[in-house]
Amino acid sequence: MDPRSLHHRLERIFRTVFDREELLLSDSMAAKDIEGWDSLAQINLVVGAEAEFGVRFQTAEIRALRNVGEFKALIAKKLGSSA
Amino acid sequence: MKRSAEEIRKAAESGDYLTQLSAHKSLRELLKEDSAASGLQPLRLAVLGSSTTAQLIPLLELHCFKEGLLAEIYESPFDQYQQEILDPSSRLYAFRPQAALLFVNYRDVRPGPTQVEAERWVSLWRTLSEKGRCFVIANNFDLPVERPAGSLEGGLDQGVGRLRRLNALLAERTGQGVALLDAEHLSAMLGKERWHDPRFWHHSRQAVSFEGLTRYAAEAAAMLRAALGRSRKCLVVDLDNVLWGGIVGEDGVAALELGDTPRGDAFLEFQRYLKALKQRGVLLAACSKNDEANAKEPFAKRPEMPLRLDDFSAFVANWEDKATNLRSIASSLNIGLDALVFVDDSAAECEIVRRFCPEVAVLQMPEDPAEYCRLLDSRRFFETVSISGEDASRAAHFEAEKSRRALESAAPDLKSFLRDLRMRATAEPFKEEDLGRIAQLINKTNQFNLTARRRNEAELRALIKDPSALTLSVRLQDRLGDYGLIAVCIGLKRGEEVEIDSWLMSCRALGRGVEQFTFTRLAQAAWEAGAKSLLGRYLPTPKNGMVRDLYPSLGFKREGERWRLELPAPPAEAFISDGSAIAAS
């Protein structure tokens, strides 16, 4: 599993959801750092990530994922456990 | 992201949920330019949801744009739809919507008798339609995945069994400005396990998955387009490799793939789908680069094809470019280019039409003919939500006439054919409100018209008050349709005689036994007025030869220029030669 690839793929999803083509993701970014990262955007990120990575988030995780690093770690974990 | 209008439409057609959301943002940007909205039809739309509608709204805007509509949307607060509908001073009504979309789901169904629950929904629809003076689109109920009683539940008055019955009841109650969006079918098409996502319901009351919402928005927008009278009307198809496999001009008609191979079977299936479109009112046209004789040959020589030449309202086969041909098809059918859908397997032809006739909806067929039906169906080009009264009666009349002919050919004899129609005729004296129609019949009927005497409305009105005038207007209906007022008879009483001054009938009612019925009713009226005989006259005109022998056929005896029938006893219904054919009342 190449983490850079995961990073880039997730970045693409963020760019689509927030409609900002120049957006650069960093692990430390949290909801408060990205304009428009509200509960609606949250859902859209989850839906996008599920489609992109073929993973499924649990109900509690949908709400809990509020920063990029955690998001990536959780996706990586799900990919690892399903691999 | 900056996208052109064309790219935005494409994203709406085939993009996933996130792509569509992103396209919506591009649309918002695009609409800031004044010119972007030109050509779009403005639409004030109210969206009333029992669940979260935040994601649905942008999708609706996007799909409305795809359908040529510029939607201005009022979003009712979460789960306030009932209050808003019932309160005449609600913000919903202050918005003055042209259309309202009621976005509900199976969780909104209340316990109790299903019939009562159906009435509750219908009453909400009607209230919304009347108070808002708007077109209403309400969805039916999307059956859930879970069935506590399993397959047995289908037969129970609970769970999916009850929802199915409720949906059936609701479907019967649409019309008059209310259309039912078939959310149940949409959910089944997508797969219920994908349509329903319990996680998002628990997270933020999302009743339908986002993937499902894109389908819902597409369906709603197509229905809105139809409600505004902007549905496409005519499907223009290429022939080679669209209706059949192969190229008729090169391969020859015998070698065309039709039914005999798996691919050929798929072409036949597509033809059946087109036939079904045609039967429900979509015009078909052919547009092919071919010699006309070649293009028509398969219709004559391949009887296994469901489509016949007369299924096509326009048939153009030549070597001109298709953009030119589409224009001439549109003008020959007297419809706009924006009423056309063009289907071709050639990317080049599709591109030419897109470029030179941008109003035409273009659909390029994929390589595999097995995909044709589904692809065309998925685009909802010919969605209709309501048929205007006139269209409905015309369409209904057309269908009824076809059914009558079918019955006629199936029926072993005329008597049982008539009996099968379960005709019902009524005769009554002229009434003020019928005078317009009566005058029209009297002045236009040429063939079944014994005397061809014309009268205007004022003269007819005078007859109503004239005690010596026996007037009859006859209506006919059968189980296939209502003919309306189709025959008129005027008798004038002089002493113990009634002379039939006028007797005429619309040709639509010929061959139904109506002449017998009318005659019997007049004879009864004459008897009741104290007459002992009927007098008839046939005044020949260039067109009324068909009734030359009517009086002798009814038993009248010649008396110089006139025909006389004695009425020795009260005329019975037995005067109707086929008493079973017409149930008189």
Q: In this predicted model, what pLDDT tens digit does every residue of B435-476 receive, in sequence order?
A: 888 988 888 788 889 999 988 888 899 999 999 999 999 998
Closest by CA to B56, choosing from B160, B204, B227, is B204
The whole model's pTM is what? 0.69
Question: Is the pLDDT reported for residue B390 higher than 50?
Answer: no
**Residue range A50-69: average pLDDT?**
90
Question: Chain B interface, mutation test: which of A9, A39, A47, most B Cβ atoms within 10 Å?
Answer: A47
Say which of B16, B22, B203 has its CB closest to residue A51.
B16
pLDDT tier at B570, thresholds 50, 70, 90: confident
**Residue range A18-38: average pLDDT?**
89
8 Å CB contact of B18 and A39: no
> B536 with B562: CB under 8 angstroms?
yes
Question: pLDDT per residue over B124-141, tens digit each?
Answer: 999 999 999 999 999 999
Q: In what order do the strands lie in the sheet with B361-364?
A: B312-318, B283-289, B234-237, B340-344, B361-364
- pLDDT of res. B401: 59
Closest by CA to B533, choosing from B557, B505, B513, B516, is B557
Question: Is the pLDDT reported for residue B91 higher than 50?
Answer: yes
Closest chain A C-alpha to B103 CA, distance in angstroms: 19
- pLDDT of res. B391: 42
Say which of B22, B55, B202 has its CB closest to residue A16.
B22
Say which of A17, A21, A58 has its CB closest to residue B18.
A17
Residue B210: its chain A contacts at CB < 8 A?
Answer: 43-44, 47
pLDDT tier at B389, thresholds 50, 70, 90: very low
- pLDDT of res. B388: 41
| Long-range contact pairs involving B388-397 (C-beta distance under 8 Å, separation at least 24) | B395/B281, B396/B481, B397/B481
Closest chain A C-alpha to B213 CA, distance in angstroms: 13
Look at residue B106 and give its three-state secondary structure: helix
Closest by CA to B195, choosing from B181, B219, B217, B211, is B211
**Residue range B167-178: average pLDDT?**
92
pLDDT tier at A81, thresholds 50, 70, 90: low
Question: Is the pLDDT reported for residue B419 higher than 90?
Answer: no
The 3-state secondary structure of B475-519, one letter per residue: EEEECCEEEEEEEEEEEEEECCEEEEEEEEECHHHCCCCHHHHHH
pLDDT tier at B406, thresholds 50, 70, 90: low
- The share of chain B scoring above pLDDT 90, in percent, equals 65
Residue B25: its chain A contacts at CB < 8 A?
Answer: 19
Is the CB of residue A13 less than 8 Å away from at least one CB of chain B? yes
How far apart are the C-alpha atoms of B135 and B101, rounded to whole Å? 9
CA distances from B516 to B166, B196, B511 (A): 47, 63, 10
- pLDDT of res. B330: 92
Record the tokens describing residue B51, joined without a space: 């669940």
- The share of chain B scoring above pLDDT 70, in percent, equals 91
Is the CB of residue B202 less than 8 Å away from at least one CB of chain A? yes
- According to DSSP, the residues that pair with B489 across neighbouring strands are B472, B503
How far apart are the C-alpha atoms of B39 and B241, rounded to whole Å? 34
Record the tokens describing residue B132, joined without a space: 């808002």
Is the CB of residue A8 less than 8 Å away from at least one CB of chain B? no
Closest by CA to B135, choosing from B97, B172, B92, B87, is B97
Closest by CA to A48, choosing from A82, A16, A83, A7, is A16
> B418 with B439: CB under 8 angstroms?
no
DSSP character at residue B163: H
Per DSSP, the residues of B249-289 read HHH-GGGSBSSSSHHHHHHHHHHHHHHHHHHTT-EEEEEEE
Rounded-to-5 percentages of helix, strand, coil across chain A: 65, 0, 30
Number of H helices, E strands in chain A: 4, 0
Is the CB of residue B446 less than 8 Å away from at least one CB of chain A? no
Q: What's the ipTM?
A: 0.89
The total number of residues shown for chain B amounts to 585
For A:19-58, CB contacts with B below 8 A are 19, 21, 39-40, 43-44, 47-48, 51, 57-58
Number of A–B residue contacts, CB under 8 Å:
42
Residue A39: its chain B contacts at CB < 8 A?
Answer: 204
